[in-house]
Amino acid sequence: QGFVGCAFCIVMSRRVPSSGLAGPGPRKGGGRAAAPTAAGILRKARNTIQAIPYGGRCTPTGPHPVTLVTVDSLGFASARTVVPREIASNLTSFRLNTRSTTRKVTEIQGNAKVSLNFQDHRGPGGWLTVKGNAKLSGVKRDDTVDILVASVALSVVNFNEGDSVGCEPAMLMLGPQGWVVP
């Protein structure tokens, strides 16, 4: 469903229309800036992913590591760094791959709710968290399994993208018509 190979990360070259953010920040005279749009928040989320280096390089062609968070049988969070194989161009789904015998597979079998956390370590930094439901593919010949994460919500703060200290994360929820600001 619209996956783009992260190894080439074409997803990052597809830009949301420039009308995404509905205001540059506080207005002269102390007025409030217009609320951000879903397109603007999505653009900030994509820029956060694109900024993450891998193997000492940071390129739009990726790949871009992410922390996969699952829940173990005792109810504790388990976090590990993985590299997505594919990212949907609209960030609605992600494909990861792992050996079929890993703890992450067992934990997803027990609880399909997962989070993906991308960290932008440039300058003042930023982060993107995607919450979603994971499904496992069948075991492949090489004894690996795909983890398919269907996004439900995302939140992003990125000081490199104009956010200020103390700001609330920009949030999106995925509805039947696409991403919406809650």
Count of residues in the chain: 182
Tell me if residue 108 falls in helix, strand or coil: helix
Condensed to tens digits (0 to 9), the pLDDT of residues 42-51 reads 999 999 998 8
| Confidence class for position 31, pLDDT limits 50, 70, 90 | low
Confidence at residue 95, expressed as pLDDT on a 0 to 100 scale: 95
| Main-chain dihedrals φ then ψ at residue 5, nearest 5 degrees | -60, 125
Q: Which of 110, 90, 99, 102 is nearest to 146 (CA)?
A: 99
Considering the entire predicted model, what is its pTM?
A: 0.80
